[in-house]
Every structure is written in C-alpha cells, then in structure tokens.
Amino acid sequence: MSGPGFEDYPYISADRPKQGATAVWRYHSGLLRFDFNLVVSKSDRGRMLYIANTSAFGAGMEIYRFECAGGETTIDYEAQRAQFVGTSVCRHDESQTGKTD
C-alpha cells in the first residue's frame, strides 16, 4: 500500500452483477481502514443497476441507468444516501465520450 486511497475491491462475489451479489470497496489511510459493503439490489443488464452501500459513514443507494442510442451509451447516475433527516440526491449524466452536464 502506498499513500491513502481506495483498494480496488478486495472482495467481489462470483455471482456479480446478479441481484444479491456482494462486494467490498476499502478505503485506507495509514492504519485506518473503512470498508464500504456493497450489495446489488436490482440488476437488469444494459438497462439499470442498483447498488446498496453501507459503511461507518451510513447507508445509501447508487443507481445507474444505461441508454444506448446512435452508437453511444449514456449513463445516468443517481446517489441517494440516508441522513439523520431526509435524503440527499446527487445526479450525474455521462456518455461514453466523457461529456458531462
């Protein structure tokens, strides 16, 4: 391990990306480590992927929607995280050409 950062998935279940598949994404900084436990809660190949995420920082859901048109794939990303009050939502669209809005 070099400096602080994320390890690229020290665990991914063999049945990914099927519903119920699990993975761990780990952040490390010195002796500190935080695991983000991921579970595929909904998966429709080429259309959508819902990933539940729990960690020491709380719980949330990442939603990816895929649309193919004119030879390009557009990914609609939505992150929802549980807070003490309400829900925070972040949306991001990105096509395979790297365009963002």
d(CA 69, CA 76): 14
pLDDT at 72: 93
d(CA 93, CA 77): 6
The DSSP 8-state label assigned to residue 70 in this structure reads T
Q: Is the pLDDT of residue 66 over 50?
A: yes
Q: Is the pLDDT of residue 92 over 60?
A: no
Q: Is the pLDDT of residue 99 over 90?
A: no
The C-alpha R_g of the chain, in whole angstroms, comes to 15
* pTM for the structure as a whole: 0.67
Q: What average pLDDT is seen over the chain?
A: 79
Query: What residue spans define the domains of the chain?
Result: 5-95
Q: What is the pLDDT of residues 26-64, one digit of tens each?
A: 888 888 888 889 999 999 988 999 999 998 888 999 999
Q: How many residues does the chain have?
A: 101
